């Protein structure tokens, strides 16, 4: 078979196009052109330091470098303010077009798709592990470190190993309240935190074809929690509709060939899939929420690059509407972008949250990584719609994080312990 006719996965095709090749073998190391390069207030200061060592006078493209100060912003302390100052000054000096100041800023992985900065078929890197989120648009994007970003800012290129692909086919009919978060927590539980190490996770099947964009973003976002390089979903009508008002440039749609050889294929029947919770201290500790009895919580967090989108807030608002959160629980809700915040405000969700006793925050990654806006004390426990529950992730090394979707987080906030919506409605 001629090389150009050999079946390939979406990931292989996208990567091949970006290094002017017809076909790539899994395991090959390539140097490829990237469509954009992203970093935040934690990773960018280091990248700038390294970039300056290279000695080039400008970035490869002032429109393709994206800087989002979202982790410790609005500046949580003097040191964070200093870090943010470094990237602000860099952005002005190097005429970076896509620098998003507090007020315009949102959590990067919600903000970029919202603004149409990512298009299907893109190959891109970001110095944030959840850069794999954009695979929901049919793009191959992945997290790297600051040095990779420094080099890409100078050259517009990055080195990649071409990954194998694991295909996940989701079948059946989802139960009420079950979302993309439950699918991905269950999947990580199935394959483990390194079950897709170095690989592309391709999500498909009838359940995915009906899943909203917000749900797809959530799933691709957590591919890294199984060690994945990409989380990727084929372009379809839902993708097209989402992109219609945001289209900023031409894009190319890639699909995996029918006869392509996957590293492994999983078929998952979702009809009996319960709402999931991952217990401390690994995202792979996924269990049915209703099997977790009497796990009292001190805090509930609804937000992050995983679950801070409008659909997540809608679910939380439906459950919290007209109800009060438990007096011993601090509930913090963080819309992921200013736009989402405004939409939630217009739809009345914010009013619902405040009336039920929640604190509503401006967009920030804050509590997800124990930075600010909801850090846990020793012995405290949170249920959270974020993505990691490692030791010390949300604060004190002796605190605990239970990962869930927005429905369980909102229900738990009312119950004061881990609960499903059925228990509180």
Closest-CA residue to 350 (of 316, 373, 386, 390) = 316
The backbone region for 392, taken as left when phi is positive above 0, alpha when psi lies in -120 to 50, beta otherwise, is left
Q: Does 227 bind other proteins (CB under 8 A)?
A: yes
Going 231 to 397 to 394 to 410, the CA torsion angle's sign is positive
Q: Which is nearer to other proteins, 206 or 397 (CB)?
A: 397
Instruction: Determine the Cα–Cα distance for residues 94 and 65; give it in Å rounded to an integer.
Output: 10
The backbone region for 12, taken as left when phi is positive above 0, alpha when psi lies in -120 to 50, beta otherwise, is alpha
Q: At 378, which helix (H) or strand (E)?
A: none
Which residues touch 378 (CB under 8 Å, ≥6 apart)?
396, 398, 399
Instruction: Determine the Cα–Cα distance for residues 304 and 70; give it in Å rounded to an integer.
Output: 10
Q: Does 309 bind other proteins (CB under 8 A)?
A: no
Site string (184-223) toward other proteins, x via CB under 8 A: ---------xx--xx-------------------------
Query: Percentage helix, strand, coil, to 5, in the chain?
Result: 35, 20, 45
Smallest separation, CB 201 to other proteins (Å): 13
Closest-CA residue to 363 (of 329, 382, 340) = 340
Q: Is residue 99 a contact partner of residue 88, using CB atoms and an 8 Å limit?
A: yes
Q: Does 49 bind other proteins (CB under 8 A)?
A: yes
The region of 164-172, 224-232, 239-247, 403-411 touching other proteins under the rule CB under 8 A is: 224-232
Q: Which is nearer to other proteins, 127 or 233 (CB)?
A: 127
- Read off φ and ψ for residue 94, nearest 5 degrees: -100, 10
Residue 159 CB neighbours (<10 A): 13
- In the list 113, 143, 189, 231, the residue contacting other proteins (rule: CB under 8 A) is 143
And the tokens for 219?
A: 């799933």
Q: Does 56 bind other proteins (CB under 8 A)?
A: yes
Q: Does 135 bind other proteins (CB under 8 A)?
A: no
Q: Does 240 bind other proteins (CB under 8 A)?
A: no
Q: Which is nearer to other proteins, 132 or 344 (CB)?
A: 132
Q: Which is nearer to other proteins, 4 or 194 (CB)?
A: 194
Q: Does 230 bind other proteins (CB under 8 A)?
A: no
* Binding-residue total with other proteins (CB under 8 A): 53
Judged by CB under 8 A, the chain residues 71 through 110 that form the site for other proteins are 71-72, 76-77, 79-80, 83
Closest-CA residue to 361 (of 394, 333, 395, 330) = 333
Q: Does 267 bind other proteins (CB under 8 A)?
A: no
Q: Residue 120 gets which letter from DSSP?
A: T
Instruction: Determine the Cα–Cα distance for residues 85 and 188; give it in Å rounded to an integer.
Output: 38
Judged by CB under 8 A, the chain residues 327 through 386 that form the site for other proteins are 369-371, 375
Q: Does 145 bind other proteins (CB under 8 A)?
A: yes
Judged by CB under 8 A, the chain residues 274 through 303 that form the site for other proteins are 282
Q: Which is nearer to other proteins, 49 or 89 (CB)?
A: 49
The backbone region for 227, taken as left when phi is positive above 0, alpha when psi lies in -120 to 50, beta otherwise, is left
Q: Which is nearer to other proteins, 94 or 257 (CB)?
A: 94
Smallest separation, CB 76 to other proteins (Å): 7
Q: Does 421 bind other proteins (CB under 8 A)?
A: no
The region of 122-130, 166-174, 258-266, 342-350 touching other proteins under the rule CB under 8 A is: 122-130
Instruction: Determine the Cα–Cα distance for residues 109 and 311; give it in Å rounded to an integer.
Output: 15
Binding residues for other proteins (CB under 8 A): 29, 42-43, 45-46, 49-50, 53-56, 71-72, 76-77, 79-80, 83, 126-129, 131, 143-148, 150-151, 154-155, 159, 193-194, 197-198, 224, 227, 229, 282, 369-371, 375, 388, 390-393, 395, 397
């Amino acid at each position: 078979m001629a090389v150009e006719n050999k079946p390939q996965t979406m990931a292989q095709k996208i990567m091949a196009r970006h290094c002017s090749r017809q076909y790539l073998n899994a395991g090959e190391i390539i140097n490829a052109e990237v469509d954009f390069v992203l970093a935040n207030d934690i990773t960018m200061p280091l990248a700038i330091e390294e970039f300056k060592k290279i000695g080039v006078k400008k970035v490869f493209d002032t429109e393709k470098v994206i800087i989002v100060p979202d982790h410790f912003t609005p500046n949580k302390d003097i040191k964070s303010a200093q870090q943010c100052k470094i990237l602000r000054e860099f952005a002005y000096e190097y005429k970076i077009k896509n620098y998003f100041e507090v007020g315009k800023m949102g959590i990067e992985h919600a903000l970029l798709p919202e603004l149409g900065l990512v298009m299907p078929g893109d190959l891109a890197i970001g110095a944030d592990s959840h850069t794999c989120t954009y695979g929901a648009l049919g793009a191959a994007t992945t997290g790297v470190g600051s040095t990779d970003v420094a080099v890409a800012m100078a050259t517009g290129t990055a080195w990649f190993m071409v990954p194998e692909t694991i295909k996940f086919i989701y079948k059946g009919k989802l139960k009420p309240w079950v979302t993309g978060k439950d699918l991905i927590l269950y999947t990580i539980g199935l394959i483990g935190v390194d079950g897709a190490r170095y690989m592309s996770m391709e999500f498909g099947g009838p359940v995915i074809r009906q899943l909203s964009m917000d749900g797809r973003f959530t799933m691709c976002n957590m591919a890294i929690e199984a060690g994945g390089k990409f989380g990727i979903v084929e372009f379809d009508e839902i993708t097209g509709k989402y992109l219609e008002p945001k289209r900023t440039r031409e894009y190319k749609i890639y699909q995996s060939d029918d006869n392509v050889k996957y590293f492994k294929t999983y078929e998952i029947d979702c009809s009996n899939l319960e709402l999931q919770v991952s217990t401390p201290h690994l995202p792979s500790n996924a269990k049915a929420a209703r099997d977790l009895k009497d796990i009292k919580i001190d805090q509930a967090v609804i937000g992050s690059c995983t679950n801070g989108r409008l659909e997540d807030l809608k679910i939380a608002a439906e459950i919290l509407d007209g109800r009060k959160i438990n007096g011993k629980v601090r509930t913090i809700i963080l819309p992921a972008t200013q736009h989402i915040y405004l939409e939630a405000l217009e739809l009345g969700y914010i009013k619902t949250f405040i009336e039920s006793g929640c604190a509503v925050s401006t967009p920030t990654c804050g509590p997800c990584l124990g930075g600010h806006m909801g850090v846990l004390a020793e012995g405290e426990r949170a249920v959270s719609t974020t993505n990691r529950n490692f030791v010390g992730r949300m604060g004190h090394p002796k605190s605990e994080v239970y990962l869930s979707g927005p429905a369980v987080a909102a229900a738990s906030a009312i119950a004061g312990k881990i609960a499903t919506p059925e228990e509180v409605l």
